Amino acid sequence: MTGTVLAPLFVDALGEFFRPGTLSEVLLNGLSKAALYAMIASGLTLVFGLLGVLNFAHGSFTMLGAYLGGLVMVVLVGSATGDLARVLFFLVGTLVVFAAIGALGGAVEVGLIRQLYDRPPIYQILLTFGLALVLDEGARIVVAFYGLQPITDWRDALGTKPGFMAENLEVAGLTVAPLALFQIVFGVVTIGAVWLFLTRTRYGMVVRAGSEDDEMTAALGIDVNRVFTTVFALGSAVAGVAGMLLMWDPVWGASLPLAHETLLPAFVVVIVGGLGTFRGTVVAAGLVGLVDATMTWWFQNAITFTGLPEMMIFLVLVLTLIVRPQGLFGVEEVGGH
Amino acid sequence: MSLLELDGVETYYGESHILEGVDLEIEEGEVVALMGRNGVGKTTTLRSILQLTPPREGSIRYRGEELVGKETHEVADAGVGWIPEDRRMFSQLTVEENVRIAVPKGSDVEAGLELAWDAFPDLEEIRDRDAGDLSGGQQQMLAIARGLVGENDLLLVDEPSEGLAPLIVEAVHDALEAVAGETTILLVEQNLPMALDLADRFYVLDHGVVVDSGDADEVSTDSERLRRHLSA
């Protein structure tokens, strides 16, 4: 009886899902999530690949990037500021966030994490977990001090978004979200820049070498500690820039929960792609982003069951671990230490 | 002044006392073989010089300058190169990138590549291949090429013939012989004929101390003097 009632509903939903307007919306949403996940997870995987450290404070860098970027925008943007100027200010904010969060990441590596390289991994996990708590609570105090709601989005920052990004466009029957397009382009440019850095520069070559064998790299006259600091700073900075992008997104917004809401999918992406592999992380980000967007649509439009969309990416994780435990592009043993 | 002097070097892995007071000297231009059974501390001696496993006691002076307390990259910058036991290629880097990374910062990379390709023309043909896809012999050639382009005054070479076919061992011997004309070498090698043929002098290590030393032409592969310490 139940089956005969549900079957037509499912067929209807299937028809709706494959409508060009819906598909384009889901695809764009999925790719924008993929771009964001790739930005956040690439830092996580670079740090793990080179330093052998699983950084539980990585999501906090994204959250701090969102707040700092929001602060820059709120300070610079007035009600009379035009759309083009808002985009330019966004780029200025990106540079500020990149520099500030990168400097914070570098200081964390030099001041805290470096002291524990010779200890078992559990020390680094506990340290970065503790650091995440300190950063999150520190941000909570500051946010509360200035009278903002820590749990909900920072509305003033959301309001600095250019007008043309606020509404979806209908183009030839397809639904196009300008903000999602912006996130995709920004993510592709950022990931492309990191990829060029890794593959086309001497320093990138050193990073890849150090990820495989830090002792041999040092024996070639390379100051591996300096490379560790640079990579930790770079990974943190890119995570912060991803936060800047999320600050304009009404689904996310600058808020304290952003730290763990971004950390968990990023960990899923890193593990699915293969710990420590940049290429795997980018591919896995695409996979997880598209699965996330697809399942979000299904659970919002065809199956009402709160919380399940978020769980589906963990299903991807479980399936990957069963079928290919080392991840899509992973090798059996990785880690700089 | 010797190029390298080890004086009472004592090195531990955790609580395991591996080197129990190693003394040795190497003069500029020499090839010195460091011999001994498995597990007597030969590789640890090289790791101690490079400060990868820093000694707890003793002194290691290179051109009169103390190395103990320095970082590994500073030891390498001073001119000490390493061709490790298991080659330790960067398997995800190409052959060319493995050579490029070994050229010291500020040096002419193209000249370094030329030097490597001149010494090992076969490597030039596979310069774009990932080092992880090379055979053992090709990896050993690449490891030597990496040592060659590093502009080192002293090369620490660890078991270069290990696990290689006889024909490849011969090629490795010839390559090291060519390098020996340019660079001082401390050679750890179980292949006695090869070690004695290349070396000017030798040291024999047993249980973390030097138990014998002398000129390489004083001994032969079957001499009782060496067999006493090297046979299982």
Do residue B90 and residue A216 have CB atoms under 8 angstroms apart? Answer: yes
Residue B79 belongs to domain spanning = 4-90+134-230
Q: For residue B110, is it within any domain?
A: no
- CA dihedral for B68, B73, B79, B80, sign (positive or negative): positive
* A14 interface with B at CB cutoff 8 Å: no
> Does residue B127 sit within a domain?
no
Reply yes or no on whether the pLDDT at A4 is more than 60: no
Q: Which helix (H) or strand (E) holds B209?
A: strand B209-215
- Confidence band for A1, pLDDT divided at 50, 70 and 90: very low
Of B50, B100, B104, the CB nearest to A219: B50
**Chain B residue numbers touching A219 (CB-CB < 8 A):** 50, 52, 72-73, 75-76, 81-82, 84
Token pair belonging to A324:
């290919």
A221:B105 CB<8 A: yes
pLDDT tens for each residue of B116-175:
999 899 999 999 999 999 998 899 999 999 999 999 999 999 999 988 888 888 988 998
Which residues are paired to B31 by β-bridges? B185
Question: Which residues face B159 on adjacent strands?
Answer: none
Q: What percent of chain A has pLDDT over 70?
A: 94
Write the pLDDT tens digit of every residue in A212-249.
Answer: 999 999 999 999 999 999 999 999 999 999 999 999 99
Please spell the DSSP secondary structure of A273-325, one letter per residue.
H-TT-HHHHHHHHHHHHHHHHHHHHHHHHT---TTHHHHHHHHHHHHHHHH-T
CB contact under 8 A, B82 and A219: yes
- Mean pLDDT throughout A9-18? 82
User: Tell me, what's the ipTM?
Assistant: 0.93
- Residue A279 and residue A330 in contact, taking contact as beta carbons nearer than 8 Å: no
Neighbours of B213 (CB within 10 A): 17
Chain B nearest-CA distance from A227, in A, is: 12
Inside any domain, residue B150: yes
B82 and A208 within 8 Å at the Cβ level: the answer is no
- Decide if A264 contacts A132 (C-beta within 8 A): no
- Mark A79-104 as b/e (b = at least 16 C-beta within 10 Å): eeeeeeebeebbeebbebbbebbbeb
Of the candidates B91, B92, B102, the beta carbon closest to that of A220 is on B102
Q: Is residue B170 a part of any domain in this protein?
A: yes
Band of pLDDT at residue B232, cut at 50, 70 and 90: low
Split into its structural domains, chain B has a count of 1
* Distance separating alpha carbons of residues A282 and A39, to the nearest angstrom: 9
Indicate the residue of B72, B90, B100 with minimum beta-carbon distance to A219.
B72
Give the closest residue to B116 by CA, choosing from B99, B101, B131.
B99
Contacts of B104 in chain A (CB under 8 A): 221
Q: What residues in B contact A218, CB-CB < 8 Å?
A: 52, 71-73, 76
Q: Is A203 in the B-facing interface, judged by CB distances under 8 Å?
A: no
Neighbours of A112 (CB within 10 A): 15
User: Hey, of B46, B62, B73, which one would you mutate to test binding to chain A, going by the most A CBs within 10 A of its CB?
Assistant: B73
Longest dimension (CA), chain A: 74
Most confident of A16-20, A161-165, B19-23, B88-92: B19-23
Q: Is A193 on the interface with B (CB under 8 A)?
A: no
To the question of pTM greater than 0.80 for the whole model, the response is yes
Q: Is B129 within the bounds of a domain?
A: no
Q: State the pLDDT confidence band at A299, using cuts at 50, 70 and 90.
A: confident
Q: CB within 8 A of B229, min separation 6: which ones?
A: B35, B36, B37, B204, B206, B211, B212
Residues of A in contact with B100 (CB under 8 A): 202, 205
CA–CA separation, B103 vs A221, rounded Å?
9
Residue B218, amino acid: E
In a domain, B175, yes or no: yes
CA separation for the pair A240, A245 (Å, rounded) = 9
Q: Which alpha helices (H) appear in chain B, and where do they start and end?
A: 42-49, 72-77, 95-100, 109-119, 121-125, 136-149, 166-180, 192-198, 224-230
Q: Across all residues in chain B, what is the average pLDDT?
A: 93
Could you give the dihedral angle defined by the CA atoms of residues A199, A202, A204 and A209, in that order, rounded to the nearest 10 degrees? 100
Helix axes A20-51, A58-76, angle to 10 degrees: 120
What gap in Å lies between CA A61 and CA A68, rounded to an integer?
10
Q: Which amino acid is at A51?
A: L
Half-sphere exposure of residue A133: CA atoms within 13 angstroms, side-chain side: 5
Query: Is A276:A48 a contact under the CB 8 Å cutoff?
Result: yes
State the pLDDT confidence band at B57, using cuts at 50, 70 and 90: very high
Q: Which of residues 206-225 of A touch B (CB under 8 A)?
A: 206, 208-209, 212-213, 215-225
Considering chain A, what is the average pLDDT of its residues?
Answer: 90
The whole-number pLDDT of residue A20 equals: 85
Q: What is the CATH number of the domain that holds B219?
A: 3.40.50.300
B44, part of any domain = yes
Query: Which chain B residue lies closest to A277 (C-alpha atoms)?
Result: B92
Cβ B49 vs Cβ B6: under 8 Å: yes
Domains and CATH numbers, chain A: 21-323 (1.10.3470)
| CB nearest B73 (choices: A205, A213, A223) | A223
End-to-end, the C-alpha distance of chain B in Å comes to: 36
Q: Is residue A330 scored above 60 in pLDDT? A: yes
CB-closest option in A208, A221, A224 to B92: A208
